Amino acid sequence: MIAGSLSRRHTQASRRHKKARGTTRWRAASSLREGYLNVVAGGPFFCALLAIVAAVTATLITADLATVHRIVARESAFLRAGGDLLVVQRANDHIDARVCARVNAVAGVRTAFALSADVDGAVLAGRPDSHQTLAYATEGILRLYGLPYPGADGVIISKSIAERWQWRPGAVLAFTPSSGTARPLPTRPLRVAAIADLAKLGDAESTAILLLQPARGNADFCFVQIRPQDREILRSVLPAVFGDRAEARIQVSDVLPPAGQGGDPASEFRNRLTSDVSLMAGALIGLLWGVVTWMRRGRSALYASLGVPYAGGVLIRWTEGALVIGLGVLWGTTLAIAVATAVTDAAASQAIDLGVRHGLVAMTVALAMVALTGLWQPATLAALKERQ
Amino acid sequence: MRLLADAVEVRYRGLADPVLRGATVEVVRGETVAVLGPSGSGKSTLLAVLGGLVRPTNGTVRVDIDGSAAPRPTDVTTWILQTTNVFSERTALDNVAVAALTLGVSLREAYLVAARHLAAVGLFDRRNSLARHLSGGEVQRVVIARALASRRPFILADEPTGQLDHATTCVVLDALFEAVDESAALIVATHDPTVAERCERVVHIVDGRIVPER
């Protein structure tokens, strides 16, 4: 009955099959298929293995993403507070505002502006007791705060002033000179164009009303916003730009000392303990796969005993390893990025960039170890006997 | 085609005495040979040497094809071991098809051949069962079907019924001896005289030495 159910197709296949007696012509495609089917049929074992690979990857990568996020967050807060600002002044003298404007062209400088303060230099019209500090800055200050040009009658006010007088952008104000006014005041009414955190420019500026002035004449300071990595070179270059003289030295100082942020972020980033987590993850996963290969040596021996050639067996083991580790590392990396973004509030682009790099390194290391362990072919007879 | 072991001696590392001492055996395609002997007599080692899995310390093993260039023993032999040497999480059909694939046939052909050989050992209806769900006797018949599907001229069976009860042993041996045709030789290592009786020739082995009996 069974024989009857086997169709003519079987007979034809059998005929072709008999022609092949006694030879081994295992195809590479068969190895790929066997490797794939072994993983799929492996069920709980490979699921558990996949989960372990993903967990190792995710844990280690998340650790580094969290560390980097801490460093970046601390540096960002430092920079927001003025950590990327240098202040240039001349001992016992003023600096030239035109030279300060020219500093904008120096490599590594994001913006530069001259700044002078006239403490209690005005009284607000209609408020005779309100002695108000005025600050005068060149246009470069707009780039520091990311503000548009305020117009000829526009002023920028500090946050504390805005809060004290309940001023909003668009509010109109006028000044009358105070007894100590050092500069001529604008006589026309002025309009509040923007509110900014002027406190990082100094104590006087924290309660100032800031007016733009052309880049000419003298100024008390030149503020230079820099790329943090160019800090040292700019500190050494700026005195020469301003014309350092023995009788009136140019002093370049940090608005906030870098030590105030708890160390140099660049070196902290480079020297962080978690920077090599991807190598560690790859090595751990590779070792794990080595154990799996050893545990499954009976299976390798079985393929060999069936006539699968050495290269075919290697390809089966590579396929199994590549599938499990590839999927596991992919899963783990995705998980790490998701967790880092959700829990630590890290920027997604930063987490993706670093996470993907870690994932690729981990996968490369792990796959290299898979490739090596896959070359190992156990002694067939011994492995088969153990299997029994 | 002949499989020849000539004055083979095998010493395992750590053992003072050789496991095989000058064993000479010749098996011709189409015959059934029992290698009979007590446990530890060297039966399995002799099969391993014939199958190319163990390299002899002295002596030679070769395949003879009418004087022409011969393949290696590993290329012409296939194995039937005790009942656990299957891919347990794969189907019976998968297990047998793997052997057919070693001949370079297409996947479709391999599965057709596998189905035919499972039918030959009475397991066509169980072809889609996972190997781990099969009984010991059924597994061993899958292994027989697999050996036949590999189309190797020499089938080496090492205690193929060693873990089976008497009734199952009879079923498995019936399947084995019925399925092996004149195009293949069957070499069975066993300590069971009833298995040896089914073979055309018995090679007796004692303490690594071979004594032909009939």
Domain ranges of chain B: 2-212
* Residue B150 to residue A387, Cβ atoms within 8 A: no
**Which residue on chain A is closest to B65 by alpha carbon?**
A22
Q: Which of A1, A2, A315 to mutate: most B Cβ within 10 Å?
A: A2
Q: Is residue B162 classed as helix, strand or coil in its secondary structure?
A: coil
* Residue A388 to residue B82, Cβ atoms within 8 A: yes
* Residue B152 to residue A21, Cβ atoms within 8 A: yes
* Residue A41 to residue B54, Cβ atoms within 8 A: no
Tell me the ipTM for this assembly: 0.85
Residue A202 lies in a domain: yes
Residue A167 to residue B104: CA distance in whole angstroms: 86
Same domain, A58 and A116: no
Residue A259 lies in a domain: no
Nearest Cβ partner for A20 among B74, B105, B146: B105
- A47 to each of A320, A328, A374, B111, how far by Cα in Å? 13, 9, 20, 28
Nearest Cβ partner for A41 among B1, B90, B100: B90
CATH code reported for the domain at B2-212: 3.40.50.300
Q: Is residue A308 classed as helix, strand or coil in its secondary structure?
A: coil
Per-residue pLDDT, B65: 83
- The tokens 């006589």 sit on which residue? A187
Q: How confident is the model at residue A2 (pLDDT cuts 50, 70, 90)?
A: very low
| Backbone phi and psi for residue A160, each to the nearest 5 degrees, phi listed first | -65, -35
Per-residue pLDDT, A17: 46
Residue A112 lies in a domain: yes
* Residue A306 to residue B1, Cβ atoms within 8 A: no
Cα of B137 to nearest chain A Cα, Å: 15
Buried b or exposed e, range B24-45, using 16+ CB within 10 angstroms: ebebebebbbbbbbeeebbbbb
Size of interface A-B (CB pairs under 8 A): 128
Residue B47 to residue B25: CA distance in whole angstroms: 10
* Residue A24 to residue B103, Cβ atoms within 8 A: yes
**Residue among A167, A165, A146, A159 at smallest CA distance from A197:** A159
Q: Which residues of A touch B51 (CB under 8 A)?
A: 305
Same domain, A370 and A301: yes
Give yes or no for A279 touching B (CB within 8 A).
Answer: no
pLDDT digits over A281-326, tens only? Answer: 999 999 999 999 999 988 888 898 888 889 999 999 999 999 999 9
Q: What is the DSSP pairing of strand A85-90 with strand A250-254?
A: antiparallel
Cα of A356 to nearest chain B Cα, Å: 35
Same domain, A143 and A205: yes
* Residue B74 to residue A307, Cβ atoms within 8 A: yes
CA dihedral sign of residues A292, A296, A297, A299: negative
Per-residue pLDDT, A109: 95
Residue A102 lies in a domain: yes
Per-residue pLDDT, B84: 65
On the question of pLDDT at A223 being above 60, the answer is yes
pLDDT digits over A230-264, tens only? Answer: 888 999 999 989 887 777 788 998 888 765 555 67
Residue B78 to residue B40: CA distance in whole angstroms: 22
On the question of pLDDT at A184 being above 90, the answer is no
Mean pLDDT of B102-119: 93
Residue spans of alpha helices (H) in chain A:
2-5, 8-19, 28-41, 44-78, 97-102, 140-145, 159-165, 231-242, 265-270, 277-295, 297-306, 310-343, 348-374, 380-387
* Residue A308 to residue B102, Cβ atoms within 8 A: yes
Cα of A31 to nearest chain B Cα, Å: 10
Burial of A17 (0-12, 13-18, 19+ CB in 10 A): buried
Asked if residues B199 and B34 have their Cβ atoms less than 8 Å apart, the reply is yes
Residue A110 lies in a domain: yes
Same domain, A89 and A222: yes
Q: Which of A191, A226, A261 is the last residue of a domain?
A: A226
**Residue among B27, B76, B24, B61 at smallest CA distance from B185:** B27
Residue A121 lies in a domain: yes
Give the domain extent around A94. 85-226
Cα of B200 to nearest chain A Cα, Å: 23
Mean pLDDT of A319-338: 96
Residue A154 to residue A143: CA distance in whole angstroms: 16
Q: How confident is the model at residue B127 (pLDDT cuts 50, 70, 90)?
A: very high
- A249 to each of A37, A239, A252, how far by Cα in Å? 78, 8, 10
Same domain, A198 and A324: no
Provide the β-strand partners of residue B98. Answer: none
What is the DSSP code string of A21-40? Answer: TT-----HHHHHHHHHHHHH
Asked if residues B146 and B131 have their Cβ atoms less than 8 Å apart, the reply is no
Provide the β-strand partners of residue B156. Answer: B79, B187
Most confident of A18-22, A24-28, B178-182: A24-28
Structure tokens at A195: 């509110």
Q: Which residues of B touch A30 (CB under 8 A)?
A: 98, 101, 107
Residue type, A201: L
Nearest Cβ partner for B113 among A5, A14, A306: A14
Per-residue pLDDT, A39: 93
Q: Which residues of B touch A9 (CB under 8 A)?
A: 112
On the question of pLDDT at B72 being above 90, the answer is no
Q: Is residue A4 classed as helix, strand or coil in its secondary structure?
A: helix
Cα of B1 to nearest chain A Cα, Å: 10
Same domain, A38 and A117: no
Nearest Cβ partner for B102 among A26, A43, A388: A26
For the ranges A259-263, B42-46, B69-73, B100-104, the lowest mean pLDDT is seen at A259-263
Mean pLDDT of A42-69: 94
Per-residue pLDDT, A6: 45
| Backbone phi and psi for residue A155, each to the nearest 5 degrees, phi listed first | -130, 160
For the ranges A244-258, A340-354, B31-45, B108-122, the lowest mean pLDDT is seen at A244-258
- Rg of the Cα trace of chain B? 17
Same domain, A203 and A281: no
* Overall domain count for chain A: 2
Same domain, A48 and A171: no
| Backbone phi and psi for residue A308, each to the nearest 5 degrees, phi listed first | -70, 125
Same domain, A50 and A97: no
Q: Which of A171, A193, A226 is the last residue of a domain?
A: A226
Same domain, A295 and A373: yes
Residue type, B125: D
Per-residue pLDDT, B186: 93
